[in-house]
Amino acid sequence: MIDRQKIEDFLYQEARLLDQPDLDTWMTLFTDDGVYWIPGKENQTDPLNHISHVYDDRVMMEIRRRNFVHPRSASKDWNVRCSHIIGNIRANEVTEPAGAIEVTSNQHVVVWYRDEQRVYAYRGIHVLIPADDSFKIRSKRVNLINAEAPQQSLTIYL
């Protein structure tokens, strides 16, 4: 039985951490083998044999969150603030891994960076594992609607 309210609460909690942003807490939402993926093209099936914008496991998240606050990273001198709006949430139980729930959502993210305001739009696919009356993220896939377009620097997870 899928508890939609719990799933929505979890997505909003994640979005809030990215909005602030608080990457240290955000990455604790992932399972130890969790991955975060922004594919480089529509309908990409393979993260290793085709280019992606980002494909991070926990180790890369550990490095990225430290780099994000490092005083000697010039691109991080500019604060980044985000506003996620989440809609069109659908949830289905899946068998791989056992007990997991696949959640799809549409996410619009307004990003403030370098005195500019930009909009990203993506279809998110979260694979969530029930844990402690909430969830852990086994994988988060960010399908940007403009994945193939020239991109500007992005210093934050979406």
Partner 1 sequence: MQRIPDRNFDGLVTPTKLHRSLYTDPDIFELEMQRIWGQAWIFIGHDSQVPNPGDYFTTNINHNIPVVMIRDKDHRVHVLHNRCGHKGAKVVEARSGNVRGALRCSYHGWSYRFDGSILKIPNEAGYEGTGFDAKDPCYSMQPLAQVQAYRGFVFATLSPNAPDLETWMGGARECFDNLCDRAPEGEVEVAGGVLRYEHACNWKFILENLNDTMHPMVVHESIVKAAEQYIATLPADAAKERSEAEIIPPFGASYENFENSGITGFDFGHHYDGGKTSIHADYSVDPDYHGAMLAAYGEDRTREIYAFNTHNVCFYPSLTIKCAIQNIRVIRPISVDRFIVETWSFRLKGAPDSMLQRTLLYSRLINSSMGMVGPDDLEVYRRTQEGLASPSNDWVEFHRQYGRDTELDDRIIGGGTSDLDMRTQYKAWKGYMDGSLFAQYAAGS
Least distance to partner 1 from the beta carbon of 146, Å? Answer: 10
The single residue among 1, 59, 98, 119 that binds partner 1, judged by CB under 8 A, is 59
Q: What whole-number distance in Å separates Cα of residue 112 and Cα of residue 104?
A: 25
Give the C-alpha separation, 158 to 156, whole Å.
6
33 binds partner 1, rule: CB under 8 A: no
Work out whether 13 is an interface residue with partner 1 (CB under 8 A): no
52 binds partner 1 (CB under 8 A): yes
The yes or no reply on residue 154 touching partner 1 (CB under 8 A) is: yes
Q: Is residue 145 a contact residue for partner 1 (CB under 8 A)?
A: no
**What are the CA-CA distances from residue 40 to residues 34, 57, 72, 109 (Å)?**
19, 17, 28, 18
According to the binding rule CB under 8 A, does residue 48 interact with partner 1? yes
11 phi, psi to nearest 5 deg: -65, -40
